[in-house]
Amino acid sequence: MSSVTKSGYWDLMTHKFLLWAVVSLASKAPVAMAPLALVFLSRESPGGYTLGATLASVYVLGEVVGAPLLGTRLACGRMRGQLSAGLMVGALAFGALPLARSASAPVLTVLAFLAGAAPAACPGGIRSVLTRMVADDMVPRALSAEATLTQIVWAAAPGMVVFLALQVDPGAPLLLGALLAATASLLVFRLPEPQPQDPAERAVAPTARTLLSGWPVYLTSAAAMAMLATAELVLPALLEDRDLSVSWSGPLLAGFALTSAAGAFCYGLRTWPGSVRTQSLVFLAVTATFVSLITLLPGLPGIAVALLLAGVFQSGVMVTRNLSLRERLPESAHAAAYSVMYAVQGLGYSLTASLTAVALDLATPSTAILGGVAITLVITVVSAIAERGTAPRPTAEQRTLADADHGPREGNKR
């Protein structure tokens, strides 16, 4: 049975965690605002919406390329400096885009790519800082808090971009992103430098083989993201197909993000039965069910209920996937692995966007959503079989207990 944790979230409310939360919010907000901000920046230029969509795509491509390349270089003892440098370069690129709005398309493309690539290792690195700041039994709660903050940022970002772009200046959202990224770049040095909790873990870059061993987790995360991306991207077409106002897309997606935040928060309140791998599969199956119901339940209320409930359980998928990756790989590889997973999720979203356009030309919106769900479930089965073939890596505490059981002689053979 599940049980309520004794301390809830109160034990997280330390000065270090609150500072981490400020850094996290300041680094995530520019990422959440960037694609839509780039569209508004170019809206009134000669390139119009086409240029804006291109710059948004290039920005995401920069994240996909930068996350694994820079994330694998993160190592204990110098992580803060690397994170700070990436954020500062990103801040400069964000700030340069509004100033160069009248420049040629190639110049803007380079700046958009740099804005996405330079700080791309930060989500994984900052998550790794968090998990090393807290005790092992607090990690699920800490990752739930991180997911809650992320979803709140994603819910608020579109409205903030639209308000600033229309009421202040088309470049204002990007300038705000530059200011926030620069603030995070400076504050990251106030966080504790991550140090290995296990003395056996050396501060060296993880090998490609080590990172690739987490492929089942990456694959499931990307599949789950792709399924929900299908629902999000097809939602306007689905509303139009049912003779509903397309303007409902914004409130529905904002509600989805908020229920995801609520779901992540609730996950951290309790200790749930089963392994995190099992929890992840259950959450994913329930999420897929509710995404499918978007196509079946009638009217706007039916779509809203199904989408909002999908958000509640989707956040559980992402938290448990992070926990699964943490169990599967050694501590020294966590920051790099989180960055690789971030890149794979971005790649999955980008491919889904392309496939969705093709699907809408060949089938109805409902069929496109159900096709995305079916593909996700097939990938999930493959990933689940692969994960069952390998045991989770024991924690440092478990290895210490094992050494004590076997005596000092046995323990020295490691």
Q: What is the pLDDT of residues 4-63, one digit of tens each?
A: 444 577 888 889 999 999 999 999 999 999 988 998 888 777 878 778 878 888 898 899
- The residue among 152, 153, 172, 177 whose CA lies nearest residue 162 is 172
Task: Report the alpha-carbon distance of residue 107 to residue 88 in Å, rounded.
Answer: 19
287-301 burial string, b = 16+ CB within 10 Å, else e? Answer: bbebbbbbbebeeee
Q: What is the pLDDT of residue 200?
A: 52
Confidence of residue 247 (pLDDT cuts 50, 70, 90): confident
When the pLDDT of each residue in the chain is averaged and rounded to a whole number, the result is 83
Q: Percentage of the chain with pLDDT > 90?
A: 29
Q: What is the pLDDT of residue 205?
A: 59
Confidence of residue 1 (pLDDT cuts 50, 70, 90): very low
Task: Report the alpha-carbon distance of residue 294 to residue 304 in Å, rounded.
Answer: 8
SS3 percent helix, strand, coil of the chain, rounded to 5, is: 80, 0, 20
- The residue among 207, 199, 172, 200 whose CA lies nearest residue 36 is 172
Phi and psi angles of residue 4, each rounded to the nearest 5 degrees, phi first = -70, 135
**Is the pLDDT confidence value at 362 over 80?**
yes
Confidence of residue 214 (pLDDT cuts 50, 70, 90): confident
**Is the pLDDT confidence value at 395 over 50?**
no
Q: What is the pLDDT of residue 401?
A: 36
Q: What is the pLDDT of residue 76?
A: 55
Task: Report the alpha-carbon distance of residue 389 to residue 408 in Å, rounded.
Answer: 31
Question: Mean pLDDT throughout 94-120?
Answer: 92
Q: What is the pLDDT of residue 404?
A: 40
The more confidently predicted of residues 310 and 361 is 310
**Is the pLDDT confidence value at 204 over 90?**
no
Taking every pair of C-alpha atoms in the chain, what is the biggest distance, in angstroms?
74
Angle of helix 299-328 versus helix 139-167 axis, rounded to 10: 130
Task: Report the alpha-carbon distance of residue 174 to residue 165 in Å, rounded.
Answer: 9
Task: Report the alpha-carbon distance of residue 116 to residue 106 in Å, rounded.
Answer: 15
Q: What is the pLDDT of residue 403?
A: 42
- Among 90-99, 180-189, 396-405, the range scoring the smallest mean pLDDT is 396-405
259 Cα distance to chain centroid: 16
Angle of helix 15-42 versus helix 105-117 axis, rounded to 10: 160
Question: Mean pLDDT throughout 158-180?
Answer: 91
**Is the pLDDT confidence value at 161 over 50?**
yes
pLDDT in tens, 108-142: 999 999 999 999 999 989 998 898 888 888 888 99
**Is the pLDDT confidence value at 75 over 70?**
no
Confidence of residue 2 (pLDDT cuts 50, 70, 90): very low
Q: What is the pLDDT of residue 274?
A: 85
The more confidently predicted of residues 396 and 357 is 357
pLDDT in tens, 319-345: 998 898 888 888 878 888 888 888 888
The more confidently predicted of residues 122 and 395 is 122
Q: What is the pLDDT of residue 94?
A: 96
Q: Angle CA(264)–CA(260)–CA(338) in degrees, nearest 5?
A: 65
The more confidently predicted of residues 217 and 229 is 217
